[in-house]
């Protein structure tokens, strides 16, 4: 397993692999890796001859009041996780390597970027689409792996690849959770002991909604109220959004009669956490 910091180094290594006819899988991340990221790397290494993992805390996807500077970073630890999961190369560029001083081209998307996290984090998906396009152009992977944890991001990337004819297959990977149900996230490290306990309210509220759906509840409003009520009972939690949307178009639904995404974002103290599940009728 090798770690490189420049675009040229990645390009040279990948060119060598391609010359040998090897397939390349790619896992883009912001680092401070956990088992969720590990599962993406494992899946990529099962399906490809070589696996590239990018570790880059992308400044342009953070809002001015968000946690860009405090986002956790630990390249040495990340290297061990990537190696254990079967990764071959880490690309860890500097901000300057990715964004030249006069950088001025962005990839923007309407529609599915406008609700859910997009509504709460203006400019976030513009930053995500731009960096992922750049990373795809640098790594030129055959397949790229994204977690269902970030359900809207996954939908946005699939749409971008389709709309812009980017020749890469997007592979969705299931959410990996802690044994008590909390979805793994690099941001969980911000939580103190009480907040960590309180954070269980996210998965608990979603589990109740799942139960109600399995019992036949089909009103999106009732599902949203049920989730909101459970979240509101937790004093350390503050709802950012609770929504039920069509799982493909991400538009709001009234009656649940097709595949829907039930997605929530909740502040636990100052930490914003997201979770979701897909329900197929
Ligand atoms: P991040 O480093 O948070 O930008 O995440 C990098 C990739 O890992 C994204 O595709 C995420 O959806 C995915 N990911 C993050 N957490 C999890 C998780 N708990 N389970 C599965 N995938 C995850």
CATH number of 186-276: 3.30.1300.10
Portions of the chain given CATH number 3.30.1300.10: 186-276
User: pLDDT tens-digit profile of 83-128?
Assistant: 999 999 999 999 999 999 999 999 999 999 999 999 999 999 999 9
Q: Is 38 in the pocket of ligand 1 (CB under 6 A)?
A: no
Q: How large is the average pLDDT for residues 250-269?
A: 98
* 213/219 Cα distance (integer angstroms): 9
Task: Report the topology of domain 2-173.
Answer: Rossmann fold (3.40.50)
The mean predicted confidence, pLDDT, of the chain is 98
pTM of the model: 0.98
Portions of the chain given CATH number 3.40.50.620: 2-173
> Residues 10, 14, 37, 51: which is the catalytic one?
37
Radius of gyration of the chain (CA): 19
Q: How large is the average pLDDT for residues 238-250?
A: 97
Nearest CA owner, ligand 1 atom 13? 147
Question: How far, in Å, from the CA of 223 to the mean position of ligand 1?
Answer: 26
User: pLDDT tens-digit profile of 16-66?
Assistant: 999 999 999 999 999 999 999 999 999 999 999 999 999 999 999 999 999
User: pLDDT tens-digit profile of 181-193?
Assistant: 999 999 999 999 9
Question: How far, in Å, from the CA of 149 to the mean position of ligand 1?
Answer: 6
Here the tokens at position 74 are 């630990």
User: pLDDT tens-digit profile of 120-160?
Assistant: 999 999 999 999 999 999 999 999 999 999 999 999 999 99
């Amino acid at each position: 397993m090798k770690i490189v910091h420049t675009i040229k180094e990645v390009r040279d290594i990948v060119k060598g692999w391609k010359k040998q006819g090897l397939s390349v899988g790619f896992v883009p991340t912001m680092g401070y890796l956990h088992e969720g990221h590990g599962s993406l790397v494992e899946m990529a290494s099962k399906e490809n001859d070589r696996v590239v993992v990018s570790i880059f805390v992308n400044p342009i996807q953070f809002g001015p009041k968000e946690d860009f500077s405090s986002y956790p970073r630990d390249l040495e630890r990340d290297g061990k996780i990537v190696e254990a999961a079967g990764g071959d190369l880490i690309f860890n560029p500097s901000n300057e390597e990715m964004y030249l001083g006069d950088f001025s081209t962005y990839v923007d998307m309407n529609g599915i970027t406008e609700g859910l996290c997009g509504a709460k984090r203006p400019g976030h998906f513009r930053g995500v689409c731009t960096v992922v396009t750049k990373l795809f152009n640098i790594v030129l992977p055959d397949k790229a792996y994204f977690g269902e944890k970030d359900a809207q991001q996954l939908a946005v990337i699939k749409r971008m690849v389709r709309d812009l004819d980017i020749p890469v297959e997007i592979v969705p990977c299931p959410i990996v959770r802690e044994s008590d149900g909390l979805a793994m996230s690099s941001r969980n490290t911000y939580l103190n002991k009480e907040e960590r306990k309180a954070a269980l309210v996210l998965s608990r509220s979603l589990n109740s909604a799942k139960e109600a759906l399995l019992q036949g509840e089909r009103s999106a409003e009732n599902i949203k109220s049920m989730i909101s009520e459970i979240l509101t009972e937790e004093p350390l939690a503050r709802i950012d959004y609770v929504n039920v949307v069509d799982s493909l178009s991400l538009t709001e639904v009234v009656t649940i009669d097709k595949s829907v995404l039930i997605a929530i974002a909740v502040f636990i103290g100052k930490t914003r956490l997201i979770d979701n599940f897909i329900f197929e009728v």
